[in-house]
């Protein structure tokens, strides 16, 4: 049990690493949509080979001909594009830890709304007063963490970027709900994830061509050389999704989500503390520890109730 929880924490750590890797790759691509395209392309390629091994029968004309192509085949991938691209924009402006915190808060808020109103064909669950308490804990934690004006992040636009982060965080639960419906329709969660990545890659291919009119990137920028590991963002994203699919049958949805979120917060703090990926150092001080403790309390309240 504890080993599986550790795997969930490690899987959650992949998200800040993915965001940081993609942000670093943006120095060589010079364009956010080109960075997102290559991230999705690598993830799609990795998932293709995984599915070729596990779901070879689904790559047939008979399988695709028998499907009813509703919005669930396309919406999940488009939402993934929004989440990934917005994170690339957020990281250098508000820091890794705050990017994780605000997006996690957005996930919790929209998750409550999906459960309460039964959106995306989810089974409605009554709203508990403690849900509101949990969200308030999250908001207080974010305000307290962001109140230090000496942090080396985008001071002028911090409020606007935090709001964007909250909106960005609302995307993954909706994407998960849609991909879950696609998983039931296709009979495979991993295949549904592949379709989501594929739609995202194709969409970004055309978006990059229209917006930037190129897909090229530089091998040298600002005196640095492009390293192969900078293409790993897509693989990290696939690892995160695959880890959740692997652990949910054993740990359940609640414990899997808590482990992943805890991993995201820890990795975000470590990236900021050590100034990894050439980001400004933001040491783990008492303010950030207290803020994270308040946020974790909010997560626990939301998950318990």
Average pLDDT of adjacent 10-residue blocks, the chain of 305 residues: 81 87 88 91 94 91 88 89 83 73 77 74 72 78 64 52 82 77 83 91 94 90 83 87 70 66 82 80 81 80 70
Nearest by Cα to 179 from 267, 47, 14: 47
- Rounded Cα–Cα distance for residues 117 and 127 (Å): 9
List the beta bridge partners of residue 185.
Answer: none
Count CB neighbours of 56 within 10 A: 9
**pLDDT for position 209:** 94
When divided into structural domains, the chain yields a total of: 1
116 burial via Cβ count (<10 Å: 0-12, 13-18, 19+): middle
Tokens standing for 115? Answer: 């459960």
Per the listing, tokens 């390629």 go with: 45
User: Going by DSSP bridges, is the β-strand pair 220-221/224-225 parallel, antiparallel, or unpaired?
Assistant: antiparallel
Contact 168, 82 (CB under 8 A): yes
**pLDDT for position 149:** 47
Is the sign of the CA dihedral 10, 200, 187, 176 positive or negative? positive
- Rounded Cα–Cα distance for residues 304 and 297 (Å): 10
- Rounded Cα–Cα distance for residues 202 and 74 (Å): 11
181 burial via Cβ count (<10 Å: 0-12, 13-18, 19+): buried
pTM of the model: 0.75
Is the sign of the CA dihedral 255, 258, 261, 262 positive or negative? negative
The conformational region for residue 223 under phi > 0 = left, psi -120 to 50 = alpha, else beta, is: left
User: For the chain, what is the radius of gyration of the CA atoms?
Assistant: 19
State the residue range of the domain holding 289.
2-304
- Rounded Cα–Cα distance for residues 103 and 169 (Å): 4
List the beta bridge partners of residue 221.
Answer: 224
């Amino acid at each position: 049990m504890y080993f599986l929880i550790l795997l969930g924490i490690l899987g959650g750590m992949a998200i800040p690493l993915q965001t940081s890797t993609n942000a670093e790759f943006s120095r060589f691509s010079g364009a956010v949509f080109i960075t997102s395209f290559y991230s999705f392309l690598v993830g799609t390629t990795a998932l293709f080979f995984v599915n070729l091994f596990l779901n070879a029968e689904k790559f047939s004309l008979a399988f695709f001909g028998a499907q009813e192509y509703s919005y669930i085949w396309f919406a999940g991938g488009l939402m993934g594009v929004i989440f990934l691209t917005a994170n690339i924009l957020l990281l250098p402006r508000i820091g890794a830890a705050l990017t994780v915190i605000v997006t996690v808060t957005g996930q919790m808020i929209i998750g409550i709304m999906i459960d309460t109103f039964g959106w995306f064909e989810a089974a409605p669950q009554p709203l508990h007063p403690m849900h509101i308490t949990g969200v308030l804990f999250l908001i207080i934690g974010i305000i307290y963490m962001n109140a230090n004006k000496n942090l080396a992040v985008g001071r002028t636009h911090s409020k606007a970027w935090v709001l964007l982060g909250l909106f960005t965080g609302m995307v993954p639960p909706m994407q998960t709900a849609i991909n879950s419906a696609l998983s039931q329709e296709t009979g495979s969660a991993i295949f549904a994830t592949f379709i989501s990545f594929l739609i995202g890659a194709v969409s970004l291919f055309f978006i990059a061509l229209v917006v930037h009119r190129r897909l090229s990137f530089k091998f040298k920028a600002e005196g640095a050389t492009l390293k192969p590991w900078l293409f790993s963002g897509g693989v990290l994203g696939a690892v995160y999704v695959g880890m959740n699919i692997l652990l949910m049958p054993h740990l359940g949805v609640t414990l899997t989500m808590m482990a992943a979120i805890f991993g995201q917060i820890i990795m975000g703090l470590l990236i900021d503390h050590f100034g990894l990926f050439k980001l400004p150092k933001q040491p783990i001080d008492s303010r950030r520890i207290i803020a994270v403790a308040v946020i974790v309390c909010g997560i626990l309240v939301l998950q318990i109730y």
